[in-house]
Structure 1
């Protein structure tokens, strides 16, 4: 009897597969189609059909091991070295469990942001940076209500900012620096949820006035530099806010700086090359964390407040104003 059991056990082991693939077949199919649609770049040579896409050998692919569903939830792709220009494949929309999508440093990635991305209803983090994707930032992004971060920096995107993004209930920040976006900042951007803390839109062609509705936001970091914005930017300031950095350099902004309130957590302020007037706020001397500061090339007047960190900055930080004076500039008359 014992020898019979041993034989049966050996037979069972012989016919039991040693390898059980964790990767969901539909996810694997979508990934392989995505690779094919991009011309089978050598960067993705580790995506081999006979291997498990969840075994951490597929470049940039991670699966959900926490819930043991093993669905592909993280796609982190950089420098894809495409053999020729390709658009973002619509097959990306066949990965419904994606939580994180990053595609970066791929100049040969062209075309528009495909509607298929709207199928990724579990997506929290969407980064497409340093490519040549073009067209407008699509309205359908506002339907992905799980989105937390949107980063489309340094591409060739144009058109205007979609007003609908303010409908996203979990969004904490947008980064659209270095594109060709034009027009005004929508009034609706003052309606972002109280989770929203970062807005960086530098190096575009934005114009018009900064909406007064933005006064409602408590932004930790705002960068609107190198645009064509004009008028009052005082709505971005406030002593009751948690603002850490404000960068507004190289616009046509004009407001009385002496009347703004300052967050006690402010560590960076760059207002150079605008038309800002008035005096420097005395409250600048109380900012314990101020590390970067530049108000050059404006229309400021009066004595530079003495104390705090203000004298750590050289004369260049204050240069070319209407009548600023006092250390580190020449003494006032």
Structure 2
């Protein structure tokens, strides 16, 4: 055992004191001295320009020590403010930067993810602002407009500066030309323009992370950024930089870990045998002129975990090296290229795999149980889905749209895929019945344009988070399920909080009378059962799904009447019931569907008058054609519907008198003819006489009633 010497004891005590001191710096509730008055005044000056809608600064009162205010941390030793942490506080208004930089011991200022619109600076305070201790400044994810204040560039101790995701604009030459000793700089997603100054790399040689992406920068960056030898992360994509990138640019970047050149117009010229001095973990080259050959230097990156080369014109790869690279990555995006390879018999362990819009052929690959997302849509895969896919218990997204896949999917045990939220098997050649063992978390089901047959399983309408159901263009038959429709996402608004989950997903959809690529939106609830052989009446449960915005039941054999309950589906924007056998009157409640932008009731057997209301009359006749017994605007007028304007005109011209005279004359002639026919029968046949006695009594009563009704109607017209 090592003896505990006095020197060791001293070191141990020093260690304990260090822990205690650091702990005191992080605690604002046990300060040993009260808050400094100057700091309190500076904070109150900052608060004066803030709009605090949710009272998150309600504790900022002179009645309370400022070190106990929300978001304020002080030193227990000095009572001076060291940290101001107000991220995600829903604050708006302006940031009074001059007042905050009066906090002489402030090291950490975080106001990210608020709604600030401006930074204000008091020029009178410049003299006292030069010598501050601020090391970390984060104003990202706000709505700040204008240019970067010079005051920020004067903070010589600043190590981390994040102004990303604002609306800042203008040149940053002055900012980047100063000696700032930055280690982390993020100016991404703004409107900055102009050049990057030459002296930037000289003044910030210790810079480890630089993000200038998604701006309007121009010019060449080769001689500037290539000299930042300490860089670990470089993101300069989505700008207007120019020039050619070769191995020379990377010669000094031996520590590089993340590289983002996506959405750029650089020309790539690398020697086929070049081996980079770095090992990347993240590489983003989407929307570039990388192809047609896959760069050989990327194969040397053995630490690569995230790789995006979507839409990069790649068509030629080294098959063995390519699959080795793909398999080592956790996230791979190779969409929208022209790669033609077989994936048969491969087992991929990639967590997120997007190979859509390519020319892959053969059988689908096997996937590991750790795969969570797979998109192989718009290729030429054939065969069936491998049975081992059902073992991927973390798999939440499957997209196999537009291939040549066959077989029966009921052979898969979908209930084992407990995490599955999106299943898109549309536009293939799958057959058999639709399985009933879908997992409860399933939110999107697209089986459109296949050969599925049989009835729709009732279990589909009991998936609580389902918001998009497309079974159109199959061979489904029989009635719709009569069970209770418990699709909670289509009954209650945003019940499961699926926002953002499918933001980058697109599907082919037919809604509002058009077929188009539809960017999936979890707030858009869709049911499409069109172009099948479904029959019977529509269950009342369907009309309980009041959050549905697009309902398409066209080209089936549905019958019966449309229930008045459809008026409760007030969010409907598109309704297509055309080419069925519906009959009866159009329910008056449909005039309450005020969001309806597309309506097609054509080619049915509806009758009666189209309900009067601005909504249903706003559609043209094509929405109602093929219903011979239907009348009213925008179709022809109903016979029983009086046109008061024309009636008044006829009254003025006296035409009503002629019409009335003709009516009575016709009634008289008809009566005479009938009378003589009866008389003849009465004279020549005794049996007919007795029969006609009874008939005559009934006719007399009916004729009297009819004449009185006609006379009363004309009297009303005369009065008007």
Q: 1:240 offset after TM fit, Å?
A: 6.5
- Structure 2 residue corresponding to 1:88, chosen from 327, 341, 364: 364
3-state SS of paired residue (1:182)? strand
Pair 1:239–1:217, CA change in 2 (3 A)? closer
Q: Note if 1:105 corresponds to 2:378.
A: yes
Change beyond 3 A, Cα 1:196–1:87: same
How many Å apart are 1:20 and its aligned residue? 4.1
Corresponding residue for residue 26 of structure 1: none
Q: Secondary structure at the match of 2:378?
A: strand
Matches within 5 A, 1:87-166: 87-90=363-366, 93-94=367-368, 96-106=369-379, 108-138=380-410, 139-165=412-438
How far is 1:283 from its partner?
1.7
CA deviation profile, 1:224-262 (whole Å, cap 9, x unmatched) = 000000001233532562121110000000121143333
**Aligned to 1:227, which of 529, 532, 535?**
532
Match of 1:5 in 2: none
| Partner-residue secondary structure (3-state), 2:638 | coil
Cα deviation digits, residues 86-113 of structure 1 (max 9, x gap): 01022xx13x43322111111x210001
| Change over 3 Å in CA distance of 1:317–1:57 after alignment to 2 | closer
- In 2, are the aligned partners of 1:234 and 1:260 still within 8 Å (CA)? no
Change in 2 beyond 3 A, CA 1:226/1:44: farther
Residue 325 of structure 2 corresponds to residue 19 of structure 1:
no
Partner of 2:352: 74
Unaligned runs of 5+ in 2: 1-253, 255-275, 283-290, 312-325, 332-348, 491-524, 640-720
Higher relative contact order (CA 8 A, sep 6+): 1
> Match of 1:67?
none
**Is the 1:302–1:323 Cα contact (8 Å) retained in structure 2?**
yes
Contact 2:564 2:588 in 1 (8 A): no
**Which residue number corresponds to residue 202 of structure 1?**
472
Counterpart in the other structure of 1:54:
305
CA distance in 2, matches of 1:222, 1:291: 16
Task: Write the distance in 2 (CA, Å) between the matches of 1:213 and 1:274.
Answer: 22
Residues 104/44 of structure 1: CA separation in 2 closer, same or farther (3 Å cut)? farther
Structure with bigger gyration radius: 2
Q: Which residue does the alignment assign to 1:33?
A: none
Q: Secondary structure of the equivalent of 2:579?
A: coil
User: How many pairs align?
Assistant: 286
- Using the TM superposition, give the Cα deviation of residue 58 of structure 1 relative to its aligned residue in structure 2, in angstroms: 5.0
One of 599, 603, 610 as aligned partner of 1:297? 603
Q: Does the 8 Å CA contact 1:207/1:227 hold for their aligned counterparts?
A: yes
Q: Normalized against structure 1, the TM-score is what?
A: 0.77
Deviations 1:188-234 (A, max 9, x none): 33332x21222110000000111111533354321100000000123
What RMSD in Å do the two structures reach over aligned CA positions? 2.8
8 A contact 2:465–2:487 mirrored in 1: no
Residue range with higher mean Cα deviation, 296-305 or 213-222:
213-222
Match of 2:636 among 327, 330, 333: 330
TM superposition score normalised by structure 2: 0.37
Counterpart CA distance in 1 for 2:279 and 2:537 is 63
